[in-house]
Structure 1
Amino acid sequence: MIDSPFVPQPRALFIMLDKLRIVLIGTSHPGNIGGTARAMHNMGLADLALVAPRCEVYGSESHARASGADALVSNARVHATLEEAVSDCTFVVGASARVRHLPWPMLTPRALGERLPRECAPENARAALVFGREDSGMTNGELQRCHAHVHIPTNPDFSSLNLAAAVQVLAYECRLAFLGSDAEDTETPFGVEWDNPPATHDDLERFFEHLERTLIDIDFHDPDNPRQLMARLRRLFLRTHIDSMEMNILRGILGAVNKQSRALAARKDGDGNG
């Protein structure tokens, strides 16, 4: 069905679409920013974030390619890092066509669309779809900051997709799924209304930094020989649905470990001086 001004749209659609952000990393051509804005506006999305763009953002070419979606280009926010761009998001998905040495939860575009209504159901929830550089995609470090990856199953003999085309494919699947959802009836990931809001990406990043420092302090983690320990721990925690209270508990446990570690070190110093 083709949407038109004469076809009433469910209120749930606008609620969900407002919770979805498109993030472009290191974009090198202004036309791709404009094309992405047009693809987003076609599907009713309006939240565009740019991470360290390598081209002029607000120039004539990006606006020309936007073809009527100029406002999305003008309102696009520019960030220095991916962490800054998705700090308030509770579900982050990275678009990737590369095979990873360390497997990560992988979704098809259709599965992504089906999952998003559940992920966006909590009141404070916000999702981000992240797209990498035109020439090299996303780095391993950037992909490890995503809860899941999504892969568009293109022709293996000609698999390269234009950036705006990739955004169009995923935005369409999200709109299709949101059209079939009801904000009041959307099933939660746990089957019941949860008692605390989900942890944000910023919460998770602070936790991972705290966890790594703690593991180094107790000699469990050697940063000079990491053996993918932190990447595997990221994968473990990111595929769960940690809420804000659970995050406070985890940070409290790490704080207690830090305290005991400092006390033990002080006793050892005292014994040595004695």
Structure 2
Amino acid sequence: MNNDENNDMFYLQVEIWGVCGSCRFLPVLHTGDFRFNDEMARTFAMQDCCIHTLILDTTYCNPQYNFPKQESVVQFVIEAIQAESFNQKTLFLIGSYTIGKERLFLEVAHVLRKKIYVTAAKLRLLECLELSVEDMQWLTSNEHESHIHVVPMWTIASFKRLKQLSHQYSERFSLIVAFSPTGWAFSKGKKSAGRRWQQGTIIRYEVPYSEHCSFEELKEFVKLISAVEIIPSVNNEGAESRNDMLALLLS
């Protein structure tokens, strides 16, 4: 086992074909959740590295999931909050997973110069992500300091659940505006970065915000990397599903 201290690289040399001293490295790129963008394309173009095997996050490997760029969806949410802020007693809710959607609510905070409420447990978790001091200053665990709250996705999944929340906050707020950010909200043929529904004093937006690549982004990334082998890491149930996804990506 050798260690290149400058690059923190570890590798094990194994004798192959019985030829002493022979060694071959096959670079493997394993992606997690990511969004392919122009900056990433420029970075890869400058790297002198040929990827042999690409293990790819294929969550949205289907032409129907060609949702907007992440930046467009973030801007949609920001503008929607601005448009709905005419009522000073409006509570804004942004859905989040245990980990995920951080960029969305942090961008909202930065652009609108508003603090974002998260629970104490959520704040401790975000501290583990080593966010910048600039990011952390916009977060508070005191719900009275903010009218923009980060909540679990399940709490805003339906108007029924939102009505329960409205009763909980009825003394402070007279209107609730909730944002459900997920790529599954995207509908083929719909060019909008979000959809709006209202029932009484509750407004619910579905916005196709995702940390996973859209279908077109996946295709662009695969074309750029030009790996010898591609292994789908999501929805890969065997040879048939794998081959179907590869056919879509390489078409």
TM (normalized to structure 2)?
0.29
Please identify the structure whose Cα radius of gyration is greater.
Answer: 2
Higher helix proportion (structure 1 or 2): 1
Higher strand proportion (structure 1 or 2): 2
TM (normalized to structure 1)?
0.27
